[in-house]
Amino acid sequence: MLDSTTLRSIPTPSVIQTLLAIPFVLITISLLTWLTTTINWYHSISQFKSRTKNPSSTLKPIAPPLLPYAIPWLGSALTFLNENPGSFWRMLRAKLASTGTNMQVCTILLGGQKAHVVNSAAAVQALFKSKNVSRDLFNRQIAIQGLGTSKADADIMFPSAPTSGHIDSKVDTMDALNHEFLLSQSAANSLMSKFMDFFRSLLDNVDLDSKEWKQVDLLAWWKKVMFNASTGAVLGTKILEMNPNLADQFWEYDAGFLARFYGLPRFIKPRAYACLDEMLDKTEAWVEYVLAEHGGDPPEEPDWEPLMGSKVVRARHRYYNREGLSSRGRAAFDLGLLFGLQSNVIPITSWILAHLLSPLTPADVLVRVQEEIGSARRPDNEVDISILVAQPLLNSIVHETLRHYVDALVTRQLKVDMVLDGYLLKKDDLVMAPSSLSQHDPQFWEQDTEPPADAWYAERFLKQDPTTGKQTFSTSWTAGKFFPFGGGTHVCPGRIFAKQEILGALATLLLKFDLRFVEYLGTDKNGSVVSLGKGAAGFPKVRKQYAGNGTLSMDGDIRVQMRAR
């Protein structure tokens, strides 16, 4: 028999009905949202078709079509935040193609924020040239969420209004500092010279002779060699002494960068935050030690010294001093420099090696590359970088690898309303130019007899000179469709050094060692290295990662036989 207490504990029918109704209400809201946004999408497509048939300069600009979605506020965020690189852009391209139009601008909703995605060459170039766009929101999001700075340090580095009262205009801003110490040819040459010293020294210590072949898991070894040479050249050797596991920590930090940037909570991606905390702690200890050794203010000369490395790092710290950045903030922005330095150059060079040594690539490609490298070989067996960077096939290979494997989101916020390709974009909205979308556009890249846009093709950037009959390297025809380093006033300041570093390291390796492909490698569910054989299915895959990762990380390796030349 039920007593009164038990009866009171049983939910009343109205409570049960309410609980049962909640899923129904949520499903109904989702269906209505999807239906409404889909109707609006097709209405916008209809408007676009009408305007295409009857073009007129007097037509009033309209809003771009908004990609249909089912969840209010979130919009397309869950689809966007998947870890299958390029899948969102392939879906978007297919969605636009299904309209039967040549539409190159549309809008997506990401967590309540409208982002206008542009794909046409004209729209991308207009975005890069516009003075009415800002990257401030993006910079602050990178600093606070991606790099782990405090809001106070982010305010210092990216103030809402220009600071005043500075005397030395040469280093008045970080942009000016980058131009002087990274972009100038003399600065890039100085960095490159030190990198090559470190790189050659590390290769000289490899235990190989010219008589015996030795099996090596090439890309795992390569990542560590390039990382240590580049870090030593730019940040100095002290940071590697104080944190000898920096190379291994860095790739975990790199893998978690976008999870932090997109604001995924710590409980979902705990390692993304744990590795950040660990690297910040150790880098802050290095910052405090080397500043104390320098009396608090790093010297301008010499070109390189072991405590803080290159001129660019010491100039940055003098800037940090003047602006009052905390030691934790300094560490965060130095890791940001390291991220920009390593997370693109090393993967790009690894992808190049994987393609050059793969049996899937025509054998004559590697032979021709070695001939170009040989033409840049000096009598002392070192590489003349000035000759190397002018070689057409090598340039084509580097740029094709950038085209194929760079997934960057060039993002700007509108300061004012803007008309782009006949569309009205509103103030404070985001405009996004995804490099992956433009750089894999089949309508642009598959002209004439070119291989598919989704294939890696060594000669894609070679053109036949009608006068001499020789092949020349050119990117002049790709404006607005090829921008792996970004564009406009925010183009990557380290691009000159990056290209020299890629070519210099690649040439030195191929001059110093003979390499023979053995097999592709992967990992099993326990993380152990396993053979994937020699077939095409074994070629390294792109690692699971979020859209906008920059250069896509590699999942896999190649085993080679090596011997000294």
Binding-site positions: 492
**CA pair distance 45, 423, nearest whole angstrom:** 12
Task: List the binding residues for heme.
Answer: 492
DSSP for 167-219? --GGGSSHHHHHIIIIISHHHHHHHHHHHHHHHHHHHHTS---SSS-EEEEHH
Strands (E), 244-391: 304-305, 309-310
**CA pair distance 352, 432, nearest whole angstrom:** 28
The answer for residues whose C-beta is within 8 angstroms of residue 281's C-beta and 6 or more apart is none
The answer for residues whose C-beta is within 8 angstroms of residue 332's C-beta and 6 or more apart is 143, 147, 148, 149, 153, 280, 283
Find out whether 296 and 317 touch, Cβ atoms under 8 Å.
no
**CA pair distance 279, 146, nearest whole angstrom:** 13
Q: Which two tokens stand for residue 444?
A: 């642009």
Phi-psi domain of 478 (left: phi exceeds 0; alpha: psi -120 through 50; beta: other): alpha
**CA pair distance 177, 486, nearest whole angstrom:** 19
Q: How far is CA 406 from the centre of its chain?
A: 6
